[in-house]
Amino acid sequence: MTVTSSVSHSAGMIAGALYDATVRDVTSYAPLTYNGKATGYVHMALIGSVFAAEAGCTIDSVHNRGEIKADNTKNLNSGDTSLHIAGIVAFANAAEGHNVISSCNNYGQITSQASRTAGILAAAKKNTTVTYCENHGDQLNTMPKDGGARLGNICCYATNGSTISHCKNYGKLVSTRSGFAGGIISLPGVGTYEDNENYGEIITDSDNRGVLFGYVTLAAAWKGGKASGTVGRYNDGRTLYDYYNEPDKLKYLGNDVSSGQATFTDVEIDIEMTPDPELETSASFRILFIGNSFTKDAVEHLPGIVAAAGLNDIQMVHMYYPGRTVPEFNSKWATATDYDCYVCNPGKSSWRSLSGKTLFRVATLGKWDVVTIQEHTGRKLAWGWTPEEKSAVQGLVDKIKSVQEGESPKFYYVLSQAYHDLDKAENVAKPFSNTDEMWTVISAHAGKAMEECTFDGIISTGAMLQNLRTSSLNNADALTRDGYHMDYGIARYGAACTVFETAIGPYNGNVKLDGNTYRTSGDSQGTTAITDARAPIALQAARNAISKPYEATDMSASQ
C-alpha cells in the first residue's frame, strides 16, 4: 500500500477509520509506504484510526509483518497534526466508550521521517488501552527536524484515560535527529503503566531517552515489568552507550523532566551495556522447546517459577512461530529464520528474544538435556495419525539427534489443549460437537505419537487444562482468553507446572513446586491472577495430568 496524498487523511490496509467496531485475527505481510506531501495530520497503519463513539473499538490478535516506510519533508509538526505511522493503529480517540488494542504484534521494520512512529500505536488521544502487545521490528527515524520526533516502539503518546500494560518491546529504536525516544513510549500521560518490558536498544542524542519512556511531564505510575536492553547516544552513527552508577540507575528508564512526576514500583532494572546476540550455552541443564503459540502458553510462566524454585543454572530456549505445525518445523529445519527465539539464561527470571536463528543452528549450540515438540491441535493433522505425520514427527526427532554429540537428549511430546470455541478449529463447519469430543481426538493422536515415535515422555498440558475446567477455577471462557489460547494467568501457570514437574524438576534434584512462591496479581478479561488460593489447584491439575495424561480428572471437589 502506497499513499501519496497531499492532504490530511487516514489510511490503512484493513481500514482507514474504524468506529465502534472489532478487528480480530488478521495478519498482513504487505509493505506500507507513505511519500505524500500533506502538511496536516496523517494516520497510516494497518488501521489508520480508531474512534470510540459509544461502545469503543476492539483490535485483537492483529499482526503486521510488512515493512513500513514514511518519507516526509513537508510536515514538521510534533503534535496531533503531525504524521502518525504505526504497525497496527496510527491514531486512537474517543467520545464515549473505550478502545482496546490487545495481543497484537509488529514484526515490520520501520524507516520513517514522521514525528510519531511506533510498532503498535502511534498515539492514544483518549480512553485507549494497549495490552499484551509485542513489537519485534527495528525502527530508524530520520525526522528532518532536530528534536521533532516523539518515538516509542509500542506507542508514542498516551493521555486522557489511556494506558499501556503487559507489553514487550524487542526492537531497536534509532533516532538520527535527537527525537524523544522510549522503548515502550515516548510520553506517558497520567495513568498506570503495568508489567511492561523492554529488551531493545534505544539510541538518540536527545536527553529525553530511556528503555521504558522518553520523558514524563505528568503523573505516570510504572508498576512491575522489566527494564532491560541498552540506551545511548546516536553520536553520528557511532553509538555511545549510557552508563549510570547504582544510585542513578533510574535514569535508564527515561528522563523525568518534571522532577518526580513519575513513580516506580517493583520495576526490575537489568540493563545490558552491550547487546548479546548469541545464545548462552554454559548451563548445567538446558531445555529446548519447539512449538507454536500453544507451547508459548505452556512455557510463559516458567522463568518465574524456575527462579522461585532457586534453580539458577538452567537455560531454557523456545523456538516459536505462531500456527506452525510439526511437518512445517521438520521441512523448514535448516532454512527458516523467521522464528522468535525466546531465551531465558541461567539466573534470569524472564524471556528475551533473539531473531534470525534456524532450528538447525539452535540445535547445534551445545548439549541439550531435554527437547520438547508440540503439534497444532487446531489443525486437522492433529486429529488423525497418518504416515505423513509420523514421518514428520520422527524426522524432527532424528534431525535433532543427528547434531547432538554424546548421549541423546530426552524427548517429550507436548499434548496441548482442546478448544472452547470450536469455530476456531480448522474447518468450514464445526469439526467437533463439544470440547470433550475434541479432547478425545487429540489425546488419541498424541497416544499414537508416543506409541510409534521415539519419545521419552509426554507433557500433557491439554489434560491439565481439561482438569482445571472441572475445578472451581473454571469460568465462562473455559479458562481461555480467546476461545482457544489459555488464560494468561492461572491456565498458563498450570501448564508451566506440568512442564516443570515432568521435564525440569526430575532432572534437577527432583524439585517439586509445593511452596513455590511465584505469583501474579490482577484479574482481568482473559487473565485469572495466580494467587495463594488458586496456585495449589492448578498444581494439582498438573499432577493429575502427569498421572493421567490422556484423560480428564474430575476436580469439582477442589477448593
List the domain boundaries for the chain: 2-75+89-271, 285-547
How many CB atoms are located within 10 Å of the residue 248 CB?
A: 9
Find where cell 518515538 sits.
151
Q: Once rounded to an integer, what is the mean pLDDT over residues 235-260?
A: 75
- pLDDT one-digit tens code per residue, 382-415: 999 999 999 999 999 999 999 888 899 999 999 9
Non-local (6+) Cβ contacts of 7 within 8 A are 38, 40
pTM metric for this prediction: 0.59
Interior CA angle at 182 toward 124 and 202, to 5°?
Answer: 145
pLDDT class of 273 with cuts at 50, 70, 90: very low
Question: Does the fold of domain 285-547 match that of domain 2-75+89-271?
Answer: no
Say yes or no to pLDDT of 260 above 80.
Answer: no
Residue 245 is predicted with a pLDDT of 54
Query: Which residue type occupies 398?
Result: D
Per the CATH hierarchy, to which homologous superfamily does domain 285-547 belong?
SGNH hydrolase (3.40.50.1110)
CA 354 to each of CA 78, 172, 288, 496: distance values in angstroms, whole numbers, following the listed order: 33, 12, 14, 22
- pLDDT one-digit tens code per residue, 424-433: 988 766 789 9
- pLDDT one-digit tens code per residue, 13-58: 999 999 999 999 999 999 999 999 999 999 999 999 999 999 999 9
Q: Once rounded to an integer, what is the mean pLDDT over residues 517-545?
A: 96
Residue 452 is predicted with a pLDDT of 97
Q: Once rounded to an integer, what is the mean pLDDT over residues 183-195?
A: 94
Q: Which helix (H) or strand (E) holds 546?
A: helix 535-547
State which fold the 2-75+89-271 domain adopts. Pectate Lyase C-like (2.160.20)
Residue 256 is predicted with a pLDDT of 80
pLDDT class of 272 with cuts at 50, 70, 90: low
Secondary structure class of 275 (helix, strand, coil): coil
252 near 211, Cβ under 8 Å? Answer: yes
464 near 558, Cβ under 8 Å? Answer: no
Any bridge partners for residue 319, and if so which?
A: 290, 341
Q: Once rounded to an integer, what is the mean pLDDT over residues 528-544?
A: 97
From CA 35, how far away is CA 290, in angstroms rounded? Answer: 41
Q: What is the rounded end-to-end Cα distance, in angstroms, of the chain?
A: 55
Query: 504: which DSSP letter?
Result: I
Query: Which residue type occupies 538?
Result: A
- pLDDT one-digit tens code per residue, 113-148: 999 999 999 999 999 999 999 999 999 999 999 999
Residue 335 is predicted with a pLDDT of 81
Say yes or no to pLDDT of 173 above 50.
Answer: yes
Question: Which of 192-206, 227-241, 398-412 is predicted with the least confidence, judged by mean pLDDT?
Answer: 227-241
